Amino acid sequence: MAGSIPPLHGPRYAQISGWGMAVPEKVVSNADLARTVDTNDEWIVSHTGIKERRVAGDKESTFSLAVRAAREALLVAGLQPSRLDLVIVATVTPEYFFPSTACLVQDAIGAAFAGAYDLSAGCSGFVYALNQAASAVRSGSAEHVLVIGSETLTRIIDWSDRNSCVLFGDGAGAVVVSACAERCGIMASVLGSDGSGGDLLIVPGGGSRTPPSHEMVDRGDQFLKMNGREVYRFAATVMPRATEAAVHKAGWQLADLSLIIPHQANARIIDAAIKRLNLPSDRFFINIDRYGNTSSASIPIALCEAIAAGRVNQGDRMVFVGFGAGLTWAAAAVEWGVPEPTKPRPWYLRWVAEIWYFLAGVRSVARRTERHFYDRVMGPEGADGVRGELRQRTDRLRLKIAGSTQRSTQPKPPKSLPAPPPPKQDPPNDDHGNTPPK
């Protein structure tokens, strides 16, 4: 981590201190799709730039991919999960309506003292979440925030629709955002929305407007619906505008940028943005050919691959820019403050991490078991007899343990600065205007 953690009263910046990604093992090529729908490799590549995509298996989900990416990010950051203050998961394919996927991740990694919530902003979700994390760190309400973009979009697409099934893939990417005293990290963010275009990219069924029913399934409303032409027009315009706005807000020039990591939706959209921004194409990182559109996971996955390819160096200025359902758009100007590790982390750190995650699992099972048996073993609240007395004593003990845990995890207040000496004052004059002798 670049720089020491500043006290609450000092200048604070929010930088990316760790990163990680996870993708399913299963690869579905264009040739595979051509055997099930009326399409071919040449058409898909020429219209989208996609050659293959990853598809989650039966035992993989948004949650499991998020946990894998989170563990990698924490390992790179060298951070214990117990030091996290907040977990944010950006997703449009959550594990459940509720509880949030972020809460499941918080439990799985053992982030016992972190808040957690999901954020839904379509493919812009990761940059939205990054802005939330940076704001929390800069304000002093958090020191370390875990931001994850995780999706299993292949679970909500109609595999018989060749216009949509060729576009999407599954994956997850995560970053750790930490407080820093040096001027670096997430320097500016721009967020936008236009709800009048909400019907251009939508899953119409399953919510309160169209609850699950046989009729809903018969219509196929549980699948993603997209007006591709209108989404293309919107994206080709808003992506360069958002990039320019973030650069201007950070006080930079477009020529200062070393790298732009766009949302990997369609190669033609990225090409249109390159032309409008009038920048060399080698300043854009593109990996859509291997993963397809992974929605909120596309930017953090691309960031991880850009770092691995040596495209990100300390001091580089870059922009993350995305657009998506809502309609939404977002861009973040980032000055990279963490040098890439020159060698892998020691092997024993992975062993330590695995032990931690095993203990986190044990803790989770213990808490679930305790809740399950609590009301069965204890008597009802306020009841007489042995079981009622046992419950009262147990409740007092639980409150005492909770209070001691809360006190032990409270951050220490910053050391107060010494008070400045009082200003020197001239002695008062006498009635005739003369200064009395010292």
Catalytic residues: 123, 263, 293
Cα–Cα distance measured from residue 39 to residue 132, given in angstroms and rounded to the nearest whole number: 41
Give the SS3 label for residue 129. Answer: helix
Structure tokens at 69: 């990416």
The radius of gyration computed from the CA coordinates of the chain, to the nearest angstrom, equals 26
Cβ–Cβ under 8 Å, residues 136 and 13: no
What are the DSSP calls for 140-156, one per residue? TS-SEEEEEEEEEGGGS
Contact partners, residue 235, CB within 8 Å, separation at least 6? 265, 266, 269, 323
Give the SS3 label for residue 438. Answer: coil
Sheet holding 185-193, edge to edge: 185-193, 328-335, 317-324, 259-262
| 336: amino acid identity, one letter | W
The pairing of strands 328-335 and 317-324 is antiparallel
Length of the chain: 438
What are the DSSP calls for 226-241, one per residue? E-HHHHHHHHHHHHHH
CA angle 345, 285, 255 (to 5 degrees): 110
Q: 251 - beta bridge partners?
A: none
Structure tokens at 336: 């990279």
Cα–Cα distance measured from residue 199 to residue 203, given in angstroms and rounded to the nearest whole number: 9
Structure tokens at 142: 């958090």
Contact partners, residue 252, CB within 8 Å, separation at least 6? 317, 333
